[in-house]
Amino acid sequence: MYVARELSIYRRNEEEVLGAAERGGNSGLMVMRGEWDEAEGRGCLSNGYAKGLFVKPPLPQNAILLNNYNDTPDWCFFLPVLDHPLSSNRYYVILASAGSHTGLATRCSTEEDMSYCCSRRIITDVEPVPYDYRDEYQQYEICSDGKAGFYAKPIVPHSYPPRFLRYKFYLFVRTSKVYDLDEALGIDESLRIRIPELNSTPIIIGKWYTPFVFVKGDGGPLKVKMKKSLFYTLTLEKYWQKIYSWENDGSKGNVVAVDVSIQREVNFLFGIEAMKGNGITNDGYVWFRVVNEHGREVNKVGFSLAIVEKMRWLC
């Protein structure tokens, strides 16, 4: 789950970049490109992408960025790694316009993936894979060369980023590739400790974004989901729910005995109680299913373990 703030805040105050992610684990920081950032940088190309050159991190998450390493530019979504400050410049790189690979994560190759020709070692890029926040081979440090260019360094020693990230590249943005998102500041502790009125409406005490790669089974193929929306909005609400009532007849003064069992955790999908899967899939997802009165599955959604654990911690 990600807290989101405007990119201009970090440009004006670089000390903000050093801030740690929200406490509780499985937390990330995102920056949003806004009106103040539209004039940032000048491009040196004449192919229509000259405006919106990014000269240094942090990179915005509400924009699909153009990597112009070669003659066939790559549109990419740069997602900050969970539980790291923005100053670490650690990102996952999701392909945004790559045919059947759209929505998949790029991954470093290893020594085992290399080939040889005339006694020379050749680095062979590996195919993109489904996103897994736990996989360090999907993580990169995006470094600035000080001249508006970038290059990626692997997190795992003796591994190699894909060619279009391994060598110097420039990043640009199109206005049509920017998504309008409000800030999401995480938990509001002042609201969290407040006791709502008995008959009041629910109070929203926290707001986050979660990228589409953390959710499965909702919205169709990854390519379709990316076009529809990059993010889901998550909110934490506090409200009273009646679980037991008893009229005091006065026989014991102001004392009322309460003897009732309650469920500590209940899962719902689309307003219907859902069953939680027993295990975690190999790529780190927990599935929730809704069944009808005949026991037949009618709906299911998979959430990344990172999201499930974070929600349980918040509650």
Q: Which of 4-18, 34-48, 158-172, 176-190 has the lowest mean pLDDT?
A: 34-48
Are residues 94 and 131 in contact, defined by beta-carbon separation less than 8 angstroms?
A: yes
Q: What number is the average pLDDT over the span 168-182?
A: 82
Residue 89, judged by CB atoms within 10 A of its CB (0-12, 13-18, 19+), counts as: buried
113 DSSP assignment: G
Q: What is the mean pLDDT of the chain?
A: 84
Q: Which residues does 238 contact at the CB level (< 8 Å), separation at least 6?
A: 191, 192, 194, 196, 202, 203, 205
Strands 120-122 and 74-80: unpaired
pLDDT band of 207, cuts 50, 70, 90: very high
CA distance 60 to 183: 13
What is the set of domains in the chain, with CATH numbers?
A: 2-178 (2.80.10), 186-245+264-314 (no CATH)
pLDDT digits (tens, 9 = 90+) for 14-49: 666 566 567 778 889 999 887 666 655 445 544 444
Count of Cβ atoms closer than 10 Å to residue 188 Cβ? 15
Q: Can you read off the two tokens belonging to residue 37? A: 């950032």
What pTM does this model have?
Answer: 0.85
Of residues 138 and 17, the one with the higher pLDDT is: 138
Q: How far is 315 from 312, CA to CA, in rounded Å? A: 5
Q: Determine the residue type at 258.
A: V
Distance CA 294, CA 269 (A): 18
68 vs 108: which has the higher pLDDT: 108
Residue 129 phi, psi dihedral angles, 5° rounding: -130, 165
Tell me, rounded to whole angstroms, the distance of Cα 122 from its chain centroid.
Answer: 33
The answer to whether residues 223 and 58 touch, using CB atoms and an 8 Å cutoff, is no
